[in-house]
């Protein structure tokens, strides 16, 4: 019997949902994005649904000053991801916990230490979303004023990750003998300095954090420009991306896997997860009503601001029923996302109004509106059509849309043999089916401790 390809699923909560009007939904706690009880609820539900991971994005800015939409969005506040994930690790036992951190504003040693700590604390469930930060608003909070151009950001990023990996390889697997009788705590021969001196960064090490149950955190990436893809192919183990239709997702999937192969890595050791926004109903009509309700709650000024942010230009003054004009992606911002939107406008010959209605909610990610069975059909088509290894859920509103997903879609995927009935391992690598990373000092790899010995002490 051939086993069906399994679907990997992450949940990506942003504030109280990805839909810009989520905070106005009657079933959503408007202030949830700053409320620890809200996040605990999301994490518990995600684990009840056996999801692979919970992923927190981050930008180190509040969008100030903005335009007429200022004061009308719930996205001005955001908790620091690793702090929040450390808290969630105490109430979960299998869910992967992934945080975003910028390679432009931290030093490699900071991030190596933060994420290695999280990985040990979670028993090997941590992941790091490696971003270069594209937004000038973030740059204004540091000593730099403006973001560097994308190719320089990615050149630095390659070196940054090399340093981080070397720091994470400070210790051999069996370095800590902790022999009370002899008095020897660790074997100095099994400690390695990073001794890294590069063009942009240098760090000597050692990193004073032992290897975790999964050796080191899973590396995740989400940029899709040419430089972004080259970086992903060389460094990432999970790639988040945005595609509204399967044909685009397939192109990206095959091109990325080919690049991974050319970088000397096994393409099956990289999982590609497009974002997915789902509106689930017990009937198609109920799902459509949920979608229509949120769309009706969009404040128009905020809606145009969302479009401007993702398209790179302000189109709010254009005649609504005229075709979308041809645009070129700008040389700054999220260039690859701009291209996704520009391509969709041309491919489907959208008017300005249709463009707004389609993208103000989903922002260029897959949008699935329907019953659990219809959403499962769509997911299977993307998985079997070689467009994805799974999905990163960018649910419109929380916690209601996550409850719908876990109560309706997960059982349907399980019935179809596409999704785990229970967790089979303890680490994020186990959830994703990823191998342990190669140790820079190969003599160490043979000496891996048994996993059970790595399991953290846990209180309920």
**Of the candidate residues 41, 47, 52, 58, the single one contacting ligand FMN (CB under 6 A):** 58
The region of 51-59, 68-76, 293-301, 340-348 touching ligand FMN under the rule CB under 6 A is 51-59
Of 228-247, binders to ligand FMN (CB under 6 A) are: 228, 240-242
Name the pairing type of β-strands 390-393 and 271-280: parallel
The least CB distance from residue 227 to ligand FMN, in Å, is 6
DSSP state of 298: -
* 225 interacts with ligand FMN by CB under 6 A: yes
191 SS3 class: strand
* 82 interacts with ligand FMN by CB under 6 A: no
x/- map, 261-280, ligand FMN, by CB under 6 A: --------------x-----
CA within 13 Å, CB half, 330:
12
The smaller minimum CB distance to ligand FMN, of residues 92 and 338, is found at 338
What gap in Å lies between CA 146 and CA 351, rounded to an integer?
A: 34
CA within 13 Å, CB half, 10:
33
The smaller minimum CB distance to ligand FMN, of residues 335 and 352, is found at 335
The smaller minimum CB distance to ligand FMN, of residues 60 and 207, is found at 60
x/- map, 114-153, ligand FMN, by CB under 6 A: -----------------xxxx---------------x---
Instruction: Specify the length of the chain in residues.
Output: 460
Q: How many residues bind ligand FMN (CB under 6 A)?
A: 21
x/- map, 161-200, ligand FMN, by CB under 6 A: ----------------------------------------
CA within 13 Å, CB half, 299:
16
| Segments in 145-281 forming alpha helices (H) | 150-168, 226-235, 246-262
Name the pairing type of β-strands 184-186 and 176-179: antiparallel
* 336 interacts with ligand FMN by CB under 6 A: yes
DSSP 119-171: HHHTTS-EEEEEE----HHHHTTTTSSSPPPHHHHHHHHHHHHHHHHHHHTSB
Q: Going along 215-311, which residue ranges are E strands?
A: 218-221, 238-241, 271-280
Name the pairing type of β-strands 390-393 and 53-56: unpaired
**Of the candidate residues 22, 222, 340, 409, the single one contacting ligand FMN (CB under 6 A):** 222
**Of the candidate residues 235, 278, 334, 444, the single one contacting ligand FMN (CB under 6 A):** 334
The region of 55-63, 197-205, 340-348, 404-412 touching ligand FMN under the rule CB under 6 A is 55-63
The least CB distance from residue 5 to ligand FMN, in Å, is 22
Q: Which residues bind ligand FMN (CB under 6 A)?
A: 57-59, 100, 131-134, 150, 222-225, 228, 240-242, 275, 334-336
């Amino acid at each position: 019997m051939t086993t069906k390809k399994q679907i990997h699923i992450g949940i990506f909560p942003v504030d109280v949902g990805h839909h810009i009007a989520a905070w106005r939904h009657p079933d959503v706690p408007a202030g949830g994005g700053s409320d620890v009880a809200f996040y605990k609820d999301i994490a518990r539900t995600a684990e009840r649904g056996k999801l692979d991971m919970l992923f927190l994005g981050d930008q180190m800015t509040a969008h100030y000053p903005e335009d007429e939409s200022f004061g009308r969005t719930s996205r001005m506040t955001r908790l620091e991801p690793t702090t929040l994930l450390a808290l969630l690790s105490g109430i979960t036992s299998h869910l992967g916990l992934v945080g975003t951190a910028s390679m432009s504003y931290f030093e490699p040693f900071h991030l190596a230490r933060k994420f290695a700590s999280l990985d040990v604390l979670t028993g090997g469930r941590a992941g790091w979303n490696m971003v270069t930060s594209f937004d000038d608003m973030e740059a204004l909070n540091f000593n730099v004023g403006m973001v560097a151009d994308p190719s320089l950001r990615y050149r630095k990023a390659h070196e940054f990750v090399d340093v981080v990996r070397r720091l994470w390889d400070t210790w051999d697997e069996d370095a800590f003998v902790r022999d009370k009788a002899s008095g020897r705590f660790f074997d100095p021969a099994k400690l390695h300095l990073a001794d890294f001196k590069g063009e942009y960064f240098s760090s000597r090490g050692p990193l004073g954090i032992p290897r975790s149950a999964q050796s080191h955190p899973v590396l995740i990436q989400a940029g899709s420009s040419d430089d972004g893809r080259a970086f992903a192919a060389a460094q990432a183990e999970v790639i988040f991306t945005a595609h509204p239709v399967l044909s685009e997702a397939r192109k990206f999937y095959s091109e990325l896997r080919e690049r991974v192969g050319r970088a000397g890595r096994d393409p099956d050791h990289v999982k590609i997860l497009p974002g997915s926004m789902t509106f689930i109903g017990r009937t198609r009509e109920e799902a459509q009503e949920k979608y229509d309700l949120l769309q009706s709650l969009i404040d128009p000024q905020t809606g145009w601001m969302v479009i401007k942010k993702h398209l790179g230009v302000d189109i709010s003054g254009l005649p609504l029923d005229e075709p979308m004009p041809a645009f070129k992606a700008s040389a700054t911002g999220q260039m690859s996302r701009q291209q996704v939107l520009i391509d969709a406008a041309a491919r489907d010959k959208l008017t300005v109004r249709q463009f707004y209605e389609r993208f103000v909610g989903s922002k260029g990610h897959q949008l699935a509106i329907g019953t659990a069975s219809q959403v499962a059909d769509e997911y299977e088509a993307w998985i079997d059509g070689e467009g994805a290894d799974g999905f990163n859920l960018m649910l419109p509103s929380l916690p209601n849309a996550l409850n719908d997903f876990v109560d309706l879609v997960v059982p349907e995927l399980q019935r179809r043999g596409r999704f785990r009935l229970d967790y089979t391992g303890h680490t994020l690598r186990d959830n994703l089916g990823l191998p342990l990373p190669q140790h820079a000092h190969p003599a160490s790899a043979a000496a891996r401790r048994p996993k059970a010995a790595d399991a953290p002490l846990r209180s309920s």
